[in-house]
Amino acid sequence: MRKELKIIALCFLGVCQYSLADERVEVPETTTDVAQAESEIIPLDDIRILVEVFHKIKKDYVEPVSDKTLLEEAIRGMLSGLDPHSSYLDADSYLSLQEGTTGEFGGLGIEVGMEDGFLKVIAPIDDTPAQRAGIQAGDIIIRLNDTPIKGIGLAESVKMMRGESGTEIRMSVLREGQDKPLEFKILRAVIQIQSVKSKFLEPGFGYIRISHFQSRTGNDVEKHVQVLIDKDGKLNGLVLDLRNNPGGVLGAAVAVSDTFLTEGRIVYTQGRAQDSELEFDATPPDLINGAPLIVLINEGSASASEIVAGALQDRKRAVIMGRQSFGKGSVQTILPMSNDAALKLTTARYFTPSGRSIQAEGITPDIEIEKVELSRADGPQSDFVKESNLSGHLENSNEQNAAGKNSASESRLLAESDFELYEALNLLKGMHLMRSRAASNE
């Protein structure tokens, strides 16, 4: 038995040494790495307990368990006990993560994290089965099919939600304001994320929606800005919509911020490892030449979304509107392992240009908009009598009347369908108007 315990302990220490070294280099088998690992104080008494537990499970558990399974679960336990975002990715999970950052993967289209042992929805991704089914940011998933989520862990829960396109999964969800769990049946699909969309809200006033930060998102935003400029000749203002955007690639957040900044710090990170100390600065040009910019955020805006909102807020380049963001201010690094698996490890915290940490706090909008829905009131819109109601009134020959009425009708429709965007557009138009008047008085 002593020989067996010694072998298990050495194997376990080997795993620990590899993961520590892998934070710094892809191949850790160097003299420096080994010396540094050996210089760490090894808690032999604690490892002895671990080995004893390993042996007791092997000997007394009701069913046989392989050494590989036990060691993998030990690794999962180490990571899951650190924070909600660190985890062990087996080969399949690692592949799924890589697919997600490039924009195509199979599943439901939902970003989740762990909270009190349950899955919490950070945000559903645009145009995916989860969003179409009605899943909302802040929902707590308590059951998948007939399996309770409590105690399963993030990686295993995500694996359960993955599956072949067209297959069904049942989901039980707790939602604030609801007395009992909500039940959903969702068909899995191949998720192809178009992370950037754009349009004109009104002539001269553009809108760009980013649903997820992928490796190519920065370039895509630049292309969409240029398309808007080419269509109308110029932009009088722009709304950047980051609502329910759960984040993604750090580099993409930096690139998007840089699109609207010409100088200064965008974000910096601090961690224990030397290579976790990073700083990113803006470079010219501002693609919309200083035109008014509004950023929409809400409780589903997390991580990379908060980097963009925080940078543009601190640099006084944009007005942030909406509701308090999610508050994920940590950076996860993917550390490939020799067995085609990987560690997703929290290695740093990130800070806005002014030195604010967003961790567990989020971005506070400059202008808060409550979560409301508007509907058209029954009956006449006004009891007031206007000149146009009087018998025999003179007609107005202004040719702009019809255009004005159409614009008002479109505004009412926008207010009913998306009140937050409606408010953002009104502020954007006001900012442009004041800017134009100031320029004309110079």
Domains and CATH numbers, the chain: 2-65 (no CATH), 104-192 (2.30.42.10), 196-368 (3.90.226.10)
Selected residue with higher pLDDT from 25 and 441: 441
* E strands present in 96-245: 104-107, 110-115, 118-124, 140-144, 147-148, 168-174, 182-187, 189-192, 196-202, 205-210, 237-241
DSSP string, 215-265: TTHHHHHHHHHHHHHHHHSS-SEEEEE-TT---B-HHHHHHHHHHT-SSSE
**92 CB neighbour count, 10 Å cutoff:** 13
Check pLDDT > 60 for residue 34: no
What confidence tier does 406 reach under pLDDT thresholds 50, 70, 90? low
Confidence tier at 381 by pLDDT (50, 70, 90): low
Q: Indicate the burial class of 70 (C-beta count within 10 angstroms; 0-12, 13-18, 19 or more).
A: middle
Q: Which two tokens stand for residue 230?
A: 């080419």
Residue type, 405: K
Give Dmax over CA atoms of the chain in angstroms: 107
Q: What's the pLDDT at 67?
A: 93
Give the pLDDT band (50/70/90) at residue 379: low
Q: How many CB atoms lie within 10 A of CB 362?
A: 21
Which of 87, 314, 330, 344 is catalytic? The answer is 314
Q: Is 314 a catalytic residue?
A: yes
The residue-averaged pLDDT of 422-433 equals 96
Output phi, psi for 231, to 5 deg: -70, -40
Q: Hunting for tokens 């020989």 — which residue is that?
A: 3
The residue whose two tokens read 């759960």 is 246
Identify the pLDDT of residue 111. Answer: 86
Indicate the range of 154-168, 211-225, 273-287, 374-388 predicted with least confidence. Answer: 374-388
| pLDDT higher than threshold 90 for residue 352 | yes
Would you place residue 411 in the very low, low, confident or very high pLDDT band (cuts 50, 70, 90)? confident
Beta-strand pair 237-241/293-297: parallel
The answer to whether the pTM exceeds 0.85 is no
| Token duo for residue 316 | 């006084």
Structure tokens at 114: 């762990």
The pLDDT-based confidence of 401 (bands split at 50, 70, 90) is: low
Q: Which of 86, 172, 257, 303 is catalytic?
A: 303
Is residue 318 a contact partner of residue 293, using CB atoms and an 8 Å limit?
yes
Selected catalytic residue, list 139, 172, 328, 344: 328
Omega within 30 of 0 (cis) for the link into 285: yes
The proportion of the chain whose per-residue pLDDT surpasses 90, expressed as a percent, equals: 60
What pLDDT shows up at residue 365? Answer: 98
Q: How many CB atoms lie within 10 A of CB 82?
A: 11
Is residue 303 among the annotated active site residues?
yes
Asked whether residue 227 carries a pLDDT value surpassing 60, the answer given is: yes
Report the candidate in 27, 164, 168, 155 with the shortest Cα–Cα distance to residue 92. Answer: 155
- 320: its two tokens: 């942030």
